[in-house]
Amino acid sequence: MPAVRRTAFFFPLLALLAGCDGPAPADVPNLDSPGKTIVCLGDSITSGVGAEPGQPYPALLSSQLGTEVISQGVPGDTAEEGLARVDQALAADPWLVVVELGGNDILNRVPPERTEAALRQIVQRLLAAKVAVVLVEVEVPFAGRYAEIYSRLGDELNVPVLDDTLGEILTDASLKADPIHPNARGHEVLAAALAEEIEPIVEARREIGK
Contact partners, residue 87, CB within 8 Å, separation at least 6: none
**What is the rounded (10 degree) CA torsion for 202, 29, 125, 20?**
-70
Write down the H helix ranges in 66-181: 79-83, 86-91, 103-107, 112-128, 147-157, 165-169
The answer to whether residue 62 is catalytic is: no
Largest CA distance in the chain: 45
Catalytic residue, chosen from 33, 44, 62, 71, is 44
Active site residue 33: no
Return d(Cα 95, Cα 57) in angstroms, integer: 19
178 an active-site residue? yes
What are the backbone angles phi and psi of residue 98, rounded to the nearest 5°?
A: -90, 120
Q: How many CB atoms lie within 10 A of CB 208?
A: 9
Which of 43, 77, 181, 187 is catalytic? The answer is 181
Helix (H, G, I), strand (E, B) or coil at 141: coil
Cβ atoms 169, 179 nearer than 8 A: no
Active site residues: 44, 178, 181
